[in-house]
Amino acid sequence: MSHLPSKALSPRVRRAAQMRATGHQWADICKTVDARDDTVRKWAEDYPAVWRAAFAGAWNMILEEALAEAVSVLRFHLRGDQEPKTKMDAARKLIDCAGPHLAPKDEAPAPADRLTTYLEGLSDGQLNDLVAQRVEQIHGRIADRVADAGSAA
């Protein structure tokens, strides 16, 4: 079972994974999270569930942004003063791109679809790591509340 970073370290590990997913150099990441190069590079191995989740989230955001930019360019070519062939090519590409993502008019996509797709893509080990991480986070919150309640009494 993988280890989880401490409450104080967890945001730094997530930030490092996000920066790495978006193409930042290790030196820049180390400066941002205020840690040594060998330490930061080892976080992916030491905290794989946290690293993979943060990396995947950032990577998915990059892909969504790239898709939005591509759609914008295609729409420009579709609406502009281009040759008819260019407009037809742009229209075909937009349809090909959007087709699988269009929901039937009477059925809105469920909010949990993205989560379901992500979870189904995980291996059993990755899913176990993710669940263990979440359970540990919940236990930590419960312990914090119990401690706060005890000190308030």
Using H for helix, E for strand and C for coil, what is the string for 45-104?
HHCHHHHHHHHHHHHHHHHHHHHHHHHHHHHHHHHCCCCHHHHHHHHHHHHHHHHHHCCC
pLDDT of residue 24: 95
pLDDT of residue 81: 77
Q: How far apart are CA 74 and CA 77, in angstroms?
A: 5
pLDDT of residue 1: 42
Please tell me the pTM assigned to this model: 0.53
pLDDT of residue 152: 63
Q: Helices 10-21 and 37-46, interaxial angle, to 10°?
A: 100
pLDDT of residue 108: 56
pLDDT (tens, 9 = 90+) of the chain, 153 residues, equals 457 888 889 999 999 999 999 999 999 999 999 999 999 999 999 999 899 999 999 998 888 888 888 888 878 877 777 777 777 777 777 777 766 665 555 555 566 676 667 677 777 777 777 777 877 777 777 777 777 766 665
Q: How far apart are CA 78 and CA 86, in angstroms?
A: 7
pLDDT of residue 15: 95
Distance in angstroms between the alpha carbons of the first and the last residue of the chain? 37
Q: How far apart are CA 12 and CA 19, in angstroms?
A: 10
